[in-house]
Amino acid sequence: MITLEALGSDPAVRHAFFTREGGVSGGIYASLNCGFGSNDEPGAVAENRAIAAARLGLAPERLVSCHQVHGTTVVTVERPWRRDDNPRADGMVTRVPGIALGVLAADCAPVLLVDRAARVVGAAHAGWRGALAGIVEATIAAMVAQGAQVERIRAGIGPCIAQQSYEVGAEFAAAFAAGDARSGGFFRPALRPRHFLFDLPGYLAHRLARLGLAVVERTEHDTAAEEGLFFSYRRACRRGEGDYGRLLAAITLAA
């Protein structure tokens, strides 16, 4: 698992961006696939999630995640829920110790957040749609509603698809230009005409930094290129594999 200094210097806050290593799944899901939304054996996914929860010092049922829909809905977590009750949301916040907020991704960016003084944590799933629509801003607003202060919040952007692997069409760049006039610097021309390479983690870091957060840190990994460490939706599609595993990122306040 990968940790970031921005999130990791307080023993009362635990976090991890888990890689695909260290689990029990096989085949294209090898090995730490934590996504019930995949076609992997549910028992294997449950065991993988239990392994991840244990690394955070928690029982499996204390790890919660959402049915992610690439939107801007954020839920405030007061108690764990059953998987059948997963809310449709892409952000979570809590001030309750002993609950791990988990987001799943396979090229999208997991974003973990903490205000140590207020003892409030947050987690967001940010693909391009959510990033453009404002999922990180919505998650931070929900943290503030729980007592956090923007200038104290520390953010970590986990492994996701990097610019060199993220080729998009002209219509994609146009959607960003229409929705955020300051997005142009995160696109550079690709080799194919009318195609561009998009810097998703850079764009997210820009949106977080302009809010005035205390710290914004990002990993330097590329989920699409580093097959040994990460699952990747884009890589699976390119190979015609039909499905893919999901990576877990999680943050918790120590009980």
pLDDT at 103: 98
Structure tokens at 29: 């899901």
Q: Which of 128, 29, 124 is nearest to 73 (CA)?
A: 124
Strand partners, 121: 94, 114
Q: pLDDT at position 8, please?
A: 87
Q: Are 146 and 95 in contact (CB under 8 A)?
A: yes
Residue environment code for 51-83, b if the CB has 16+ CB neighbours within 10 A, otherwise e: bbbeebebebebbbbbebebbbbbbbbeebeee
CB atoms within 10 A of CB 49: 26
Alpha-carbon distance 198 to 211, whole Å?
21
Query: Which amino acid type is present at position 156?
Result: G
Listing DSSP states for 23-64 in one string gives: ----GGG-S----TTSSS-HHHHHHHHHHHHHHTT--GGGEE
Strand 120-126: give its sheet, edge to edge.
Answer: 74-76, 91-94, 120-126, 109-115, 154-157, 215-218
Please state, for a pLDDT cut of 70, what percent of the chain lies above it. 100
Which amino acid appears at position 24 of this protein?
V
Q: What is the pLDDT of residue 9?
A: 78
The rounded radius of gyration (Å) of the Cα atoms in the chain is 17
Counting as low any pLDDT under 50, the low residues of the chain are none
* The domain defined by 5-162+219-253 carries CATH number 3.30.70.60: no
How far is Cα 79 from Cα 89, in angstroms, rounded to an integer?
Answer: 16
Q: Is this structure's pTM higher than 0.95?
A: yes
CB 112 within 8 A of CB 253: no
| 103/116 Cα distance (integer angstroms) | 20
Question: DSSP letters along 182-196, please?
Answer: GGGGGEEE-SSTTEE
What is the rounded distance in angstroms from the CA atom of residue 253 to the CA atom of residue 114?
9
pLDDT of residue 111: 98
